[in-house]
Structure 1
């Protein structure tokens, strides 16, 4: 019996013990598709009840989401899930209720929102629950409006979340330089030049992210993490999941995450209308400053995503996200000519068009013949 098999057996026993303590020991347990993190989810079914089991063992390696540490690989913990659930409930968001938790073992039993994500509703062409594309995005933006009004009423001061500064973003983007750039610039001298200029670019651009202040952010706000949840009154609410990495950060960050989503096509017209809908709720915000901050935050988010794709490929052997890379570059450059010319210049100087496609990992100087951990 291998060490991995022994560890899996122990983890299965931990889950069963936890479910027994919660009264779910007889439930049918079905694993759900994993995401880009070490968290695993299982759907539980017993008679007419369902719930989700989150499994995030403390032994798992978790990448620091907030750019606090120079070494980003940290022990996993479910405590942020408990903290942010309570916070967003106070903010009025519809988030999954927590039925039980075991922080020491990294297990949480939560409400099951079902399977109707906004992504699925969009793919149905508006036939699912009768909600079209505009209606779904209006709901999503309206949730941000409610959250930011909660922030403007003083909630930021005592929410207990990490507060981002430029140094946090800079550390988050280290992975872009160390894990992604080697995949597309194999020549060390050219790569070093690109990194030096990239640091100068960040000196200029990062302060612009805060042009319109900060707010509580979800940090991964997009249609895959938004769900249509029945509310018992014949309608449905906008359910929100995967918010455990929430922080205090530049105000436009979540809106840029939603409207410049690497996984989904959003027309410039829809993006513009949704931004105007948001800005109409906050008439005191300067529109020019907001647009500058919006483009700067989109840059940060998409460079961070590219770094994450590189890390997953090198450290975890996961290259399935490479299909999104050309779109990442498109989103980074959208509006850059007028809004952030220094960004446009850096990309045109160091990242030729062909390098903005899915990389050939075998050409990377960091690639090894040693099999990556699964």
Structure 2
């Protein structure tokens, strides 16, 4: 890595400092050189595709989404040299005084992404894709409660829930979908706010997915009525900008609610996998918040009432069982 940086810069007069890491195998280093900074991404090729990040960053920047500029790349070894967005991640700076302004910027950027973002060459978030995501909930989260996992599978509960959530997703307009659009992947900037990160898994998918990822964020919670106000306001603006038909309020909120249930079930599975497989146990603290979103929404829809009862009665009282579940010795790529 240091040899490659020296070749790119034509100098070995630089310093690398650890900047951050994430839920994947990628790590990030801040490069200090000649009075300026840049970010070096180290993405092990066996697990990550830095080329996809570089290609999508250029495509997103071309339509007005502020993703990092790619200064240099070594796809064979998994290195990218990127512009530096600093340290002000949304999650660290959001508060009641600035949330309308910062979310306003994030929603405006999302509207651009959905109206003008690339779709050619992106995977499609189809029924099989959605079911694979939902399988994470059973295979990693419920697996910590074997009796509950067996009951949910043999009773057909998970299958019926999956059918409802797949149908809900597929009836929505399809747009360019970031797939992880939330407060840990948005950077507060003085100009062209926000900086957008972690977009390499973009797909073509339902219009409410990124919206609910942002507004019902697994890492920070806002008042429910405020979330609905943001969501319905966005629907009208984005429909006009993106050229898709805007449904009535009730139908849109159903799309939004059920899309959130799908995402939050997936997220619980991923958080459990990060703990059990990868030893990243700090993600367990995000599970109660994520489950709370499901428990707030599911009882409102008769087809999800049994899921709500299962979680409330048999899982939530035993969450500590997940924290002591045995780590599985596997090291595949994080999806």
Q: Normalising by the residue count of structure 2, what TM-score does the alignment of the two structures yield?
A: 0.89
Pairing 1:146–2:112 present? yes
SS in 2 for 1:99: strand
Give the structure 1 partner of residue 285 of structure 2.
Answer: 323
Pairing 1:86–2:58 present? yes
Give the structure 2 partner of residue 167 of structure 1.
Answer: 128
Pairing 1:47–2:70 present? no
Deviation, 1:357, is 6.1
- Whether the 8 Å contact between 2:186 and 2:196 is mirrored in structure 1 is yes
Distance 1:86 1:362 in 2: 40
- Whether the 8 Å contact between 1:219 and 1:254 is mirrored in structure 2 is yes
Give the structure 2 partner of residue 314 of structure 1.
Answer: 276
Pairing 1:109–2:95 present? no
Distance 2:329 2:59 in 1: 41
Give the structure 1 partner of residue 3 of structure 2.
Answer: 17
Distance 1:175 1:319 in 2: 17
Distance 1:215 1:334 in 2: 27
Q: 1:230 to 1:22 in 2, by over 3 A?
A: farther
Q: 1:94 to 1:371 in 2, by over 3 A?
A: closer
Distance 1:215 1:264 in 2: 25
Deviations 1:10-31 (A, max 9, x none): xxxxx01210121063211111
Pairing 1:344–2:310 present? no
Deviations 1:91-115 (A, max 9, x none): 2111110000011101100000111
Q: Counterparts in 2 of 1:120-135, with a 5 A limit?
A: 120-123=92-95, 126=97, 132-135=98-101
Give 1:333's match in structure 2, choosing from 295, 304, 324: 295
- Root-mean-square deviation (CA), in Å? 2.3
Distance 2:257 2:330 in 1: 35
Q: Count how many residue pairs are aligned between Structure 1 and Structure 2.
A: 323
Give the structure 2 partner of residue 129 of structure 1.
Answer: none
Q: 1:150 to 1:342 in 2, by over 3 A?
A: same
Distance 1:244 1:371 in 2: 26
Distance 2:323 2:200 in 1: 34
Give the structure 1 partner of residue 215 of structure 2.
Answer: 259
Distance 1:262 1:358 in 2: 17
Give 1:198's match in structure 2, choosing from 158, 164, 167: 158
- Whether the 8 Å contact between 1:211 and 1:292 is mirrored in structure 2 is no
Pairing 1:30–2:2 present? no
- Whether the 8 Å contact between 2:284 and 2:323 is mirrored in structure 1 is no
- Whether the 8 Å contact between 2:115 and 2:175 is mirrored in structure 1 is no
- Stretches of structure 2 that go unaligned for 5 or more consecutive residues are none
Deviations 1:272-326 (A, max 9, x none): 2211221221264113322121112111111111111121122112211111111
- Whether the 8 Å contact between 1:337 and 1:344 is mirrored in structure 2 is yes
Pairing 1:280–2:236 present? yes
SS in 1 for 2:253: helix
Give the structure 2 partner of residue 271 of structure 1.
Answer: 227
SS in 2 for 1:248: strand
Deviation, 1:363, is 6.1
Deviations 1:193-222 (A, max 9, x none): 202320221122211113331111111101
Q: Normalising by the residue count of structure 1, what TM-score does the alignment of the two structures yield?
A: 0.80
Q: 1:171 to 1:101 in 2, by over 3 A?
A: same
More deviation, 172-181/283-292: 283-292
- Stretches of structure 1 that go unaligned for 5 or more consecutive residues are 1-14, 61-75, 127-131
More deviation, 272-281/257-266: 272-281
Distance 2:217 2:284 in 1: 15
Distance 2:232 2:29 in 1: 39
Give the structure 2 partner of residue 57 of structure 1.
Answer: 44
- Whether the 8 Å contact between 1:212 and 1:289 is mirrored in structure 2 is no
Deviation, 1:265, is 1.6
